Amino acid sequence: MSRPFRFGVNLLSLAPAPEWRAKCRRAEQLGYDVLLVPDHLGWPAPFPALVAAAEATERPRLGTFVLNAGFWNPALLAREVATTDSLTNGRLELGLGTGYVRAEHETAGLPWGSPGERVDHLRRTVEELKRLLGSAEHQPRPVQEPGIPLLVGANGDRMLRLTAEHADIAAFTGARSVPGSASGQLEPLTAEELDERVALYRKLAAARPEPAELNLLIQLVAVTEDPEPVLRPMLEHLPRLTVEQALALPVVLVGTLEQIVERVRAQRERYGFTYLTVLEPYMEAFAPVMEALRGA
């Protein structure tokens, strides 16, 4: 039996305290289950933003989507995680990834490393966090027992293996990094390419005692009867795609309300995605989709 749907919104833009709190309350009113903050230079610092979100809301979970492991020392990160879980009254979900923007590491004066080195660092970070936060001697202590839910964002083979071994939530980016891009440019996976990634994850996760929740980050949402104008900016950056091919991308939800709802249900059947995350600019547009899917 499929899990019920869960929906998150990734909040990208910082605002003065009253506006930030109002935005978080609005997301709660719209029905979002998780309020998320990314980890990029020039964007909000995740942990204080999540504590402020907790003060403004009552129901939603709060998560990082996702922390750039290369920015963090595991011991210092464990302190941040435990403190934030305590200050949010046990509502934290910890999202981790390798990072994919070389320019941010260069700006911060941090090593970038090869893809393999970044995966190795993430693995060490995950394992050290589990050791530290699982120790009764660690201070401060997180609130949640037996532990804080871990989400890992993954696409490559080694990352999918790490996710299968450790993550409570397997987050699929639905995209790959463009080779040689220092700015972190991504290109979306086709439905068939995502089939292959999910199939590999399931193979690697076959021995898990409990299945993980599967997440997909949606890149574009629009309820419309005329999709071409909405897709035009995307097609300018991806000229190899036709309108029909763009509409078929798993990370794109564009069409009438009925079409989008049916597409989300179909993707749950095809891939197992029951936790969908949308970007802040589409927070309002996705609300009627959530409402139609509630309880499905």
Do 221 and 188 contact (CB within 8 A), yes or no? no
Kindly state whether residue 22 falls inside one of the protein's structural domains. Answer: yes
Which DSSP letter does residue 206 get? T
Do 44 and 14 contact (CB within 8 A), yes or no? yes
Kindly state whether residue 91 falls inside one of the protein's structural domains. Answer: yes
Torsion of CA 78, 84, 88, 94, to 10 degrees: -60
CATH number of the structural domain spanning residue 172? 3.20.20.30
Query: Rounded to two decimals, what is the model's pTM?
Result: 0.96
Q: What is the pLDDT of residue 181?
A: 75
Do 229 and 237 contact (CB within 8 A), yes or no? no
Do 92 and 60 contact (CB within 8 A), yes or no? no
> Rounded to whole angstroms, how far apart are CA atoms 234 and 257?
21
Question: In 3D, which of 98, 71, 195 has the Cα closest to residue 153?
Answer: 98
Q: What is the pLDDT of residue 180?
A: 75
What's the pLDDT tens digit per position in 84-119?
999 999 999 999 999 999 999 999 999 999 999 999
Which domain does 38 fall in, by range?
6-218+271-280
The dihedral region occupied by 180, where left means phi > 0, alpha psi between -120 and 50, and beta the remainder, is left
> Rounded to whole angstroms, how far apart are CA atoms 197 and 202?
9
> Rounded to whole angstroms, how far apart are CA atoms 162 and 164?
5
Terminal-residue alpha carbon distance, the chain: 12
Q: What is the pLDDT of residue 15?
A: 92
Residue 287 — pLDDT band, cuts 50, 70, 90?
Answer: very high
Secondary structure element (H or E) that encloses residue 278, with its range: strand 273-279
The answer to whether residue 230 scores a pLDDT higher than 80 is yes
pLDDT above 70 covers a percentage of the chain that reads 99
Kindly state whether residue 250 falls inside one of the protein's structural domains. Answer: no
Question: In 3D, which of 259, 257, 237 has the Cα closest to residue 247?
Answer: 259
Instruction: Look at the chain and report how many structural domains it folds into.
Output: 1
What's the pLDDT tens digit per position in 235-284?
998 999 999 999 999 999 999 999 999 999 999 999 999 999 999 999 99
The answer to whether residue 225 scores a pLDDT higher than 70 is yes
Q: What is the pLDDT of residue 296?
A: 63
Kindly state whether residue 239 falls inside one of the protein's structural domains. Answer: no
Kindly state whether residue 251 falls inside one of the protein's structural domains. Answer: no
Kindly state whether residue 130 falls inside one of the protein's structural domains. Answer: yes
Q: Which residues contact 137 (CB under 8 A, 6 or more apart)?
A: none
Q: What is the CB-side half-sphere exposure of residue 122 using CA atoms within 13 A? A: 32
Q: What is the pLDDT of residue 2?
A: 75
> Rounded to whole angstroms, how far apart are CA atoms 5 and 292?
11
What's the pLDDT tens digit per position in 60-93?
999 999 999 999 999 999 999 999 999 999 999 9
What's the pLDDT tens digit per position in 29-59?
999 999 999 999 999 999 999 999 999 999 9
Mean pLDDT of 199-209: 97
Kindly state whether residue 197 falls inside one of the protein's structural domains. Answer: yes
Kindly state whether residue 256 falls inside one of the protein's structural domains. Answer: no
